[in-house]
Amino acid sequence: MINTQQFTQEKYQIAAIYILLCPPQDRKYWIVQLWGRFNIPKHRFILWLALQGRLRTREKSHRFVIIDCPNCLLCNNGLEIINHLCFECSKTKQCVMEISHWLGWGGQATTELNRVSKWINRTKTCRFSRKVMVAGLASLVYHVWKTRNELIWQAKEPNWVNLTARIKENVKQMVVFVWPKKVSQKDEIWFNNL
C-alpha cells in the first residue's frame, strides 16, 4: 500500500526542486500538467522526457552510430523519432485514437504529442477532466515506450488490446486512489461512465 501522506509530500518536494532548478523562461505550460496528482510518477517522468524530445529513440542512437538501423520496430515503417512513436506510427496511432475517444480529447490533435498536450491545456472543460486526460496521456506515452523497449530488449511482441485496457485501468485506479475532496456531481458521473 502507498502511504498517501508520504506520497503527497514527496511529490511536492520533487516539484519544488524542479521549479528551483528550472529557470522561469524554460518553464512550459505542461509543467503544471506534469505535476497533476492523478499522474503516476513513472508515467510523469517518461512524459516529461518525451515532451522535451529527450527519449533515446533509435534515430538518435543511429546518429551516434550505436545501432545500424534507425527505423521503428513497432511498424517497420519510418524513422523512430519521438513524433513517430507519439503517435504517427500506425500501431501507436490506434492506441491514441482509442484513448482520445475514451477521454474525449480533440479529434484533430490526436496524432502529435505536443498538440495533444496543448489541446488538453486549452480546452474549456473543467480542471478535473483535464487532469484525468493528462493522466491518460502520460500513461499512454509510458506504455508505448515500455512496449517498444520490451520488443527491442526482450523480443516481446506487443499486445495492443491489452495495452489500452491497462492504460484505462491505471488511470481509473490512480484517480480513485487520490480522489479530490471536491468533485462536482457532473464530473463524478463523467468519470464513473469512463
State the minimum distance, in angstroms, from the CB of residue 142 to Zn ion: 17
State the minimum distance, in angstroms, from the CB of residue 5 to Zn ion: 42
Nearer to Zn ion, 55 or 134 (CB): 55
State the minimum distance, in angstroms, from the CB of residue 141 to Zn ion: 14
By CB under 5 A, residue 75 contacts Zn ion: yes
Which pairs with CB-CB distance under 8 Å and at least 24 residues apart come from 151-159?
151/73, 151/74, 152/73, 158/74, 158/91
Which one of 46, 51, 55, 72 is in contact with Zn ion (CB under 5 A)? Answer: 72
Nearer to Zn ion, 72 or 96 (CB): 72
State the minimum distance, in angstroms, from the CB of residue 148 to Zn ion: 9
Which one of 47, 50, 74, 95 is in contact with Zn ion (CB under 5 A)? Answer: 74
State the minimum distance, in angstroms, from the CB of residue 161 to Zn ion: 18
Piece in contact with Zn ion (CB under 5 A), picked from 33-41, 55-63, 67-75, 102-110: 67-75
Contact letters for Zn ion, residues 86-105 (x by CB under 5 A): ---x----------------
Cell numbers at 56, concatenated:
533515446
Piece in contact with Zn ion (CB under 5 A), picked from 30-38, 49-57, 70-78, 156-164: 70-78
CB neighbours of 148 closer than 8 A, spacing ≥ 6? 73, 74, 80, 85
Torsion angle defined by CA atoms of residues 91, 135, 54 and 98, in that order, rounded to the nearest 10 degrees? 10
Cβ atoms 49, 145 nearer than 8 A: no
Query: Residues touching Zn ion: how many (CB under 5 A)?
Result: 4
Cβ atoms 111, 117 nearer than 8 A: no
Give the number of other Cβ atoms within 10 Å of residue 124's Cβ: 5
Separation of alpha carbons 67 and 75, rounded Å: 18
Cell numbers at 156, concatenated:
516481446
Place of cell 484517480: 175
State the minimum distance, in angstroms, from the CB of residue 130 to Zn ion: 29
Binding site for Zn ion (CB under 5 A): 72, 74-75, 89
